[in-house]
Structure 1
């Protein structure tokens, strides 16, 4: 009898230890979202009235898992925003994740989470048909003290051009820790490479991707340093740094300044035919209008001249 009582006490203590070992429930937290995989089509989701893509709905095209995914496409410029609001969540740190695929190229493509007046987001860039990528948003703080009252709004925002398409699926929102737990730290700011033409102002992104110690990523605002305009006057490259919100780590951008492609006639090679076209437009009275003339302006100074001829001759003389 004593032996049985001892075993009962031991088993009870073991159960108590196991049940309290992970108070945050980080490993096995359930998905807080309703219909995160769109298997019930748009149940639980709200499509913003500003969304104007002719295809912006859950259907059976290209799901990541199951039978349904949220898809987008239009034959004109479009905007899409779909979201879901969850209430009654316990205080804690949450993580949002989703999988997407598609042709890419959208001017805006991100998932977001908003709680207590704070909005976090992560950009994504699709890379092709069924090339599924996972995008995450980390460190989503849900606190009754912040006025969120256990409420989080998550979703997708897109701005696209005619013909751009894709799908997103398997949204999850899980609790990964307590508010007083050590938050994931930013360990890296991914560098960016930007190509531009000589004398053309490069487009600098407003956000960069931060990588956290838990492996998740987020898009953070960046303020880029100034540069000398003379750096754009000839082909070459230079480095820019930027100040990133929320970290002392700096962003880095490699700016590659290029002449226009030497293959002026677009036949896949650079030869005497391209040189002849450049020489023609550099000749007196030839004029500089039209796409072929623009392509002949290799140094992008607004006119086709002897400098463009020199550039293509130098290119032809290269081994």
Structure 2
């Protein structure tokens, strides 16, 4: 007599919404600093007005991000274990990520100190922003490099998981960098408009508009090419792209609200004359960036062969 044993394996993850929220907050912090680096590192002076808001936005976001990660881990000691140098594992993305957060945090605090200790007058702020792009060039460059790496890090962390075909691509970090820049630009536009109570200069609006359109187009190209590659590959890849395109967070949140709607507003909304349009675009971009992280995480988890 032959006995056949049947087993059911559940591909269930303990990940919750805190994980994409953590990725989103990190993107705001790193993206803000990368946008500010257009002034401090690359010498584009019309971005000076965004440097001070970027310093504070990045600090606040960086302070919040580990809280979401610790809450997801449920045991705070696990986070301390990851950043303990004695426990560093060169083969672990978590170990690299923990230390990247620390190094980024140190350079960010040093970068922001000039604004924290400086005068709050508009003239002093302008002078401090100009100083930030002139002096401490090494520090400014280091902050930019760490921000760039931190924005790409979630893509590396997910990309090394070979069992999840939706994540397993070398280009995923590039997509995280692109969308982090969108998040940083959006949050800084909102910060300047509602906190600093300043009107954006025409040159800044024009440059930011071109940058936003370019980043959106790059994102759409990435989505199209990635979808085509998955759809024309094996059964597992086809299941992955079907799962992604079945997600409302992806189709509605990221694609429609986060990319296509802002692109249409930027192209046809006369941003240069009506700055309110740029405010709406910024809000939509933030919705899109969060939706991207949410849909990518959970569609990637769900896309497994039965």
The structure, 1 or 2, with the larger RCO (C-alpha pairs under 8 Å, 6+ apart) is: 2
Which category describes the TM-score, using the shorter chain as reference length? under 0.3
TM-score, normalization by structure 2: 0.25
Find the structure with the greater CA-based Rg: 1
Which structure is higher in strand share? 1
TM-score, normalization by structure 1: 0.24
